[in-house]
Structure 1
Amino acid sequence: MRETHYATQQELNEQFAARIAHILQNSIARQGRASLLVSGGRTPVGLFEILSQADVDWSNVDVSLADERWVSADDEASNEKLVRTHLLKNNAAAAHFVSLTTTAADANDAITEVTERVNAMARPFDVLILGMGEDGHTASLFPCSEQIKAGLDMHSGQTLIAVQPTTAPHQRISLTLPALLNSRNIFLHLTGDKKKAVLDQALSADDSLEMPIRAVLQNADVELIWAA
């Protein structure tokens, strides 16, 4: 794992947004479109605000999520709502957003439809930005869930999986490990000493079922983007 540390979160947001914009614009120049997968939570809000103003041909960018809570898009818990509020505005309003939700009551019943949407995006994904929970989960690959082995199975052939965590609210839909790893640039975006301590714990052992972030770190060239 490579590491890039910043003195402040503001510096991180500004510099990281510039890097993402550069990658996306280069991908558009090379292949006509670019793809960006982001994660929810509080950590990326400042990044999204700055990235939304970047000078990118956003009309040729597909934006989606690494995972989503199975709630309506206007629910406060919705990652889609977070992205629409903080990223898909200003210049980035022209981007094409690929939603991970449907009107189905159960995420299991939406896998086929959402998989078709995600598979239509430019692959490999040009930029994947992951977060990490204090239990070592990433995307919605939770160590507490019955679905964790299926989610980490590199030979499943599945792009998405429905997940029911036992230590967090809401059913989820998540990209599987092989789908996440099908990315040219994988970033782990963390802030604060507590998350850095969790990452250090993840790096100290190998059991990916205990801390699923280990599966990403063990199978991909990941760059940590961190600030206190």
Structure 2
Amino acid sequence: MYQLHQYDTDTAMNSALANAIREDLQQAINLRGKASLALSGGPITIELFQILSHTQLPWSQVYITLVDERWVDRHHEDSNERLIHTHLLQNQAKSAHFISMTTEAENPYDGVDEIGQRLKQQLPLPIDVLVLGMGNDGHTASLFPHAANLAKGLDMHSNQLVIDMKPLTAPHDRISLTLPVIVASQHLYLQLSGAKQNQVFQQALDGNDSNDMPIRAVLQQRPDLEIYQSL
């Protein structure tokens, strides 16, 4: 059964999650001399990134990538990479290694192989800490309901690290970690903020169809998922 951590405010939730991440990364560094961290984008993550940027860790031994990315220039306002550089790779965390999820290709379909190879070569696997978000349509990462490539992204027997995705309900083509990579993470967290997201999460718990709400696939594969939720 998933573990639920509830907080009155986003700040309290983000502070507690940042502390859990710090402990997990330090433990991984102690065990193998390096650690990997995969992060999602979205407004709720900005404060988390800022708190982490001031956290005392041997950041030069931490390798950071994204759970998913929109196929836009890294300076675009919708770029998750821009959020990472602006809010996380600062202060104490400026020496961390960042692994981008985009290429010079015109679309994610043409860039997916290069990104897969990049992650295999540079990112310590399995991922030590991975933080998911969830959309109000029940998507997580860039695994969107009823998208053409969703079945491949959810395939637990796939050998792919990443998948290209064209959402039906959101702008921009995307690239995303696949479900098997996500659920193989040593420590897996889900951030939820506010009443609407909590309502959507309850809806996800009440059904089984991952095509309708891909977050269900994560819940089915990782019943020990830790949820950090603000009320």
After TM superposition, the score normalised by the length of structure 1 is 0.98
Deviations 1:124-154, CA, capped at 9 Å, x for gaps: 1111100000000000000131111111011
Query: Per-residue deviation at 1:25?
Result: 1.0
Query: Per-residue deviation at 1:18?
Result: 1.3
- SS where residue 43 of structure 2 aligns? coil
Query: Per-residue deviation at 1:77?
Result: 0.6
Residue aligning to 1:213: 215
Q: Does 1:134 align with 2:136?
A: yes
* Separation (CA, whole Å) in 1 of partners of 2:176 and 2:86: 21
Q: Does 1:40 align with 2:31?
A: no
* Separation (CA, whole Å) in 2 of partners of 1:93 and 1:114: 23
- SS where residue 55 of structure 1 aligns? coil
- After TM superposition, list the pairs within 5 Å mapping 1:6-45 onto structure 2: 6-45=7-46
* Separation (CA, whole Å) in 2 of partners of 1:167 and 1:73: 22
- Structure 2 unmatched ranges of 5 or more: none
- Counterpart selection for 2:191 from 189, 208, 214: 189
The residue identity in structure 2 corresponding to 1:194 is: K
Q: Is the 8 A contact 1:161 1:174 kept in 2?
A: yes
- Counterpart selection for 1:226 from 196, 206, 229: 229
The residue identity in structure 2 corresponding to 1:46 is: E
* Separation (CA, whole Å) in 1 of partners of 2:139 and 2:28: 29
Question: Which structure 1 residue ranges, 4+ long, deviate > 3 Å from structure 2?
Answer: none
* Separation (CA, whole Å) in 2 of partners of 1:30 and 1:124: 13
Q: Is the 8 A contact 1:141 1:148 kept in 2?
A: yes
- SS where residue 192 of structure 2 aligns? strand
* Separation (CA, whole Å) in 2 of partners of 1:35 and 1:99: 13
Q: Does 1:58 align with 2:53?
A: no
Residue aligning to 1:161: 163
* Separation (CA, whole Å) in 2 of partners of 1:146 and 1:34: 33
- SS where residue 216 of structure 1 aligns? helix
Deviations 1:97-130, CA, capped at 9 Å, x for gaps: 0000001001111111111121231111111100
Q: Is the 8 A contact 1:144 1:167 kept in 2?
A: no
* Separation (CA, whole Å) in 2 of partners of 1:187 and 1:119: 22
* Separation (CA, whole Å) in 2 of partners of 1:115 and 1:144: 23
The residue identity in structure 1 corresponding to 2:73 is: S
Residue aligning to 1:114: 115
- SS where residue 210 of structure 1 aligns? coil
After TM superposition, the score normalised by the length of structure 2 is 0.97
* Separation (CA, whole Å) in 2 of partners of 1:224 and 1:18: 14
Indicate the larger mover: 55-64 or 103-112: 103-112
* Separation (CA, whole Å) in 2 of partners of 1:12 and 1:145: 31
Aligned length: 228
The residue identity in structure 2 corresponding to 1:83 is: I
Residue aligning to 1:103: 104
Query: Per-residue deviation at 1:187?
Result: 0.3
Q: Does 1:85 align with 2:83?
A: no
Query: Per-residue deviation at 1:172?
Result: 0.3
* Separation (CA, whole Å) in 1 of partners of 2:118 and 2:57: 23
* Separation (CA, whole Å) in 1 of partners of 2:198 and 2:8: 14
* Separation (CA, whole Å) in 1 of partners of 2:173 and 2:10: 31
- SS where residue 224 of structure 1 aligns? strand
* Separation (CA, whole Å) in 2 of partners of 1:164 and 1:7: 35
